[in-house]
Amino acid sequence: MHLRTRVKICGITRSEDAIEAARLGVDALGMVFYAKSSRNINSTQAKAICRVLPGFVTPVALFLNPEESLVRQVLAEVDIDCLQFHGNESVEFCESFGKPYIKALGIEGVEDIEALFDQYSSARSVLLDSHGAGEAGGTGESFDWSTIPENLRQKIILAGGLKPDNVADAINQVRPYAVDLSSGVESAPGIKDSDLMMRLMKEVKRVDCG
């Protein structure tokens, strides 16, 4: 029997989108703290988003090669449950904040996914995306899911080019622990579309129950 696929929606910038995502059953919401991102927010915006989240919805703070001081500032000002690192951060850096963390791995050009996975064995989860190592991700491009080793599939968060139209295929082929979407459920960068989020959750539930 296939276990329930968890769902994370990243790039949340508005409280109303967070409320709607939670209502639809999304498990985790990502907030971006990376100045070059079109979905970047500050601590004040993040606090407002976290304030409206019900229990059991996990707020995640996303960084890319941040200064330590930025991470510590966000943790001091926002009630964050989990960190997500998208750059070339070392294991020691990721572990240094005393919070569960997700390590995003861009697999473009990577020959040994298992070695990368093992390097970040202390991560709560490893997220696989289509971008190159240390790059920003969020390109909306998918990758060849067949390259993911079978023994890792139930341990990963699958990202990269996912949307309501292809998420069922992704889950059927990979059977990941979770899927992560951003642009695939947006009407504009950082603006989530309620209908797309609803279609996403229906598709995930349909394939899980199939």
**140 pLDDT more than 80:** no
Q: Note if 10 is an active site residue.
A: yes
pLDDT tens column, 12-49: 999 999 999 999 999 999 999 999 999 999 999 999 99
Q: What is the DSSP string of 171-201?
A: HHHH--SEEEESGGGEEETTEE-HHHHHHHH
User: What dihedral angle (degrees, nearest 10) is formed by the CA atoms of 64, 142, 153, 81?
Assistant: 30
pLDDT at 143: 82
pLDDT at 26: 98
Q: Which of 20-29, 63-72, 144-153 has the lowest mean pLDDT?
A: 144-153
Average pLDDT over residues 163-184: 96
Q: Note if 209 is an active site residue.
A: no
Averaged pLDDT score across all residues of the chain: 93
Q: Token digits for 6?
A: 């968890």
**184 pLDDT more than 90:** yes
Start-to-end Cα distance in the chain: 10
Helix axes 68-77, 43-51, angle to 10 degrees: 40
Distance of CA 113 to the CA centre of its chain: 18
pTM: 0.93
Whole-number Å distance between alpha carbons of 165 and 153: 21
Q: Which of 10, 50, 82, 94 is labelled catalytic?
A: 10
Inter-CA distances, 201 with 54, 116, 185, 196, 208, Å: 18, 30, 11, 9, 11
Domains of the chain, first to last: 6-209 (3.20.20.70)
Q: Which of 17, 50, 94, 129 is labelled catalytic?
A: 129
Q: Token digits for 44?
A: 């004040």
- Residue 106: band (very low, low, confident or very high) from pLDDT cuts 50, 70, 90: confident
pLDDT at 135: 54
CA 99, 19, 54, 49 torsion-angle sign: positive
